[in-house]
Structure 1
Amino acid sequence: MTALACHDLTVGYGDGAPVIDGLTLELGQGDVVALLGANGAGKTTLLRALTGLVPTRSGRVELGGRELARLSTEERVRRGLALVPEGRSVVVELTVDENLRLGGLWRHKHKARKAAVEEMYALFEPLARRRDAAGHTLSGGERQMLALARALLARPDVLLLDEPSLGLAPQVTAQLLGVLRESAARTGLTVLLAEQNVTSALSVAARGVVLSLGSVVADRSAPELAADPALRHAYLGF
Structure 2
Amino acid sequence: MTAALEIRRLTAGYGAEPVLREVSLQVPDGQVVTLLGANGAGKTTLLRAVSGLLPTTGTVLLREQDLSDVPPEQRVRRGLAHVPEGRGVIAELTVEENLRLGGLWRHGRTALRERTDAEYQRFEPLARRRKALGHQLSGGERQMLALARALVAAPDVLLLDEPSLGLAPQVVHSIMQTLRDLCDSTGLTVLLAEQNAAGALSIADRGVVLHLGEVRSDGPAAQIAQDEALRHAYLGY
- TM-score, structure 1 length as denominator? 0.96
The match for 2:77 is: 78
Distance (whole Å) between structure 2 residues aligned to residue 115 and residue 67 of structure 1? 31
CA shift, 1:105, in A, is 2.5
Distance (whole Å) between structure 2 residues aligned to residue 226 and residue 28 of structure 1? 19
Give the match's secondary structure for 1:106. Answer: coil
Letter in 2 for 1:236: L
Distance (whole Å) between structure 1 residues aligned to residue 115 and residue 15 of structure 2? 42
Distance (whole Å) between structure 2 residues aligned to residue 124 and residue 132 of structure 1? 15
Alignment partner of 1:12 is 2:13: yes
CA shift, 1:164, in A, is 0.5
5 Å matches for 1:47-196?
A: 47-56=47-56, 58-196=57-195
CA RMSD of aligned residues (A): 1.0
CA contact (8 A) 2:208 2:218 kept: yes
User: Structure 2: where are the runs of 5+ without partners?
Assistant: none
Distance (whole Å) between structure 2 residues aligned to residue 128 and residue 15 of structure 1? 46
CA shift, 1:108, in A, is 2.3
Give the match's secondary structure for 1:112. Answer: helix
The match for 1:39 is: 39
Give the match's secondary structure for 1:19. Answer: strand
Distance (whole Å) between structure 1 residues aligned to residue 104 and residue 47 of structure 2? 24
Letter in 1 for 2:169: P
Deviations 1:52-71 (A, max 9, x none): 10111x21111110111111
Could you tell me the percent identity over the aligned residues? 63
- TM-score, structure 2 length as denominator? 0.97
CA shift, 1:34, in A, is 0.8
CA contact (8 A) 2:60 2:68 kept: yes
Letter in 2 for 1:33: V
Report how many aligned residue pairs link the two structures: 236
Distance (whole Å) between structure 2 residues aligned to residue 48 and residue 99 of structure 1? 21
Q: List, as ranges, runs of 4+ consecutive aligned residues in structure 1 with deviation greater than 6 Å.
A: none
Deviations 1:66-94 (A, max 9, x none): 11111111111111111100001111111
Distance (whole Å) between structure 1 residues aligned to residue 65 and residue 80 of structure 2? 12
Distance (whole Å) between structure 2 residues aligned to residue 35 and residue 152 of structure 1? 20
Distance (whole Å) between structure 1 residues aligned to residue 175 and residue 139 of structure 2? 12
The match for 1:198 is: 197
Distance (whole Å) between structure 1 residues aligned to residue 29 and residue 97 of structure 2? 30
The match for 2:4 is: 3
